[in-house]
Amino acid sequence: MFIAVEFLSDLKEYAVVPLKNIIDGTIRAKYNKQVGKKLKIRWGRKSYDVMVRGFGSKPEMECICDDLATQAATNDKSDSESMPTSSKSINRKQK
């Protein structure tokens, strides 16, 4: 069994993680009730705060992560297009 997670950082990053990487064994046993909740996972030697986005087989979770990443990229693109920008000219002294 795998879970799709969103890392709780400024960037929208998603990953598919084996269920055994959830640090808290009680939470691991109740994985089906964790969607939308924050928890800690172990990745290598470090632990990370994540939000659970889904659970299921690895291919299903990869599809969820791909869809979430596409949505995040689309939202970022539309946000940057609607953001006001400044177009000042900078004149430099020539030596």
Rg of the chain over CA atoms, in angstroms? 19
Largest CA distance in the chain: 71
pLDDT tens-digit readout, 9-20: 878 899 999 999
Amino acid 92 reads: R
Which of 14, 10, 2, 19 is CA-nearest to residue 68? Answer: 14
pLDDT tens-digit readout, 30-60: 988 999 999 999 988 999 999 999 999 999 9
Alpha carbons 15 and 7: distance in angstroms, whole number: 8
